A and B are shown apart, each in its own frame.
Chain A
Amino acid sequence: MSVKADFAGRTLPPAGPFPVDAALIAEFAAAVGSSDPVHTDAAAARAAGYSDVIAPPTMAVRFEQQSNAAYVADPDAGIDFSRVVHGEQSFTHHRPIVAGDEITGTTTVTSIREAGGHAMITVTTELTDVDAAPVCTAVSTIVVRGGE
């Protein structure tokens, strides 16, 4: 099985909406060792200028991965998930993700290239809110290791 290069440039149908709730934000914050009260205390979050508790900066990955799953898991894409490692990740936040948000993600397969027998796939996901306003641009590069 090999990665199909002709998926490059494709944009998936929007995924979601994914609801964001305060309990999930608190769980994520605890798991990554954050004690910032803006994740757990609505009053502290409001004092900082937010409408409710906000997600840690890397929590966008949850919605990003839910949005790109239709590509990564597509048998026609030829991605053997048991050979995938995460190469690079970036998040550009246009605003923090807030409890009560409903996030929609639209993923584009930015590039697929070969390097040293491995396939490097870069996907860009635009996360937006109910008003279709931008929330976060998440870019992920995965490496599908060659071999055998």
Chain B
Amino acid sequence: MKVRVTVNGVAYERDVEPRTLLAYFLREECRLTGTHVGCDTSSCGCCVVVLDGTRAVKSCTMFAAQADGHEILTVEGLAEGGKLHALQQGFWDQHGLQCGFCTPGMLLASYALLKHQPNPSEADIREGLAGNLCRCTGYQNIVKAVQQAAATLGQPAGTT
């Protein structure tokens, strides 16, 4: 079947089997390998992408066919004009990653979290990222990174 999706602002049209999962569609059809597949069973959150600008979804547990006609944001689409997104800068500054495998999912889950809660408490961040596993950091620096990003994004343009 034909699947047409807009990923990071770019239109893709591919002919795939209905059973193709969105994570594999992104990685193998769109060649966007920033979306990682960890557990492959919706437990780890490494494959999280953002659907239609606000909803974080585990792309290993959604068929590409379901994304037909929708917009997807992946980690490759976060930076704009060579400038890191505030979340990416936060992860960089706060050392919010070590091996980096969980990072794309962490970034996209955080992106959706901040869309719904622009000024989250530490508890909000910890609860909001409870579906994303990290085996390196112990989470502390990830929480700091999201706090930094929330502060940056909360400032009026031109004040940073």
Q: Do A and B come from one complex?
A: no
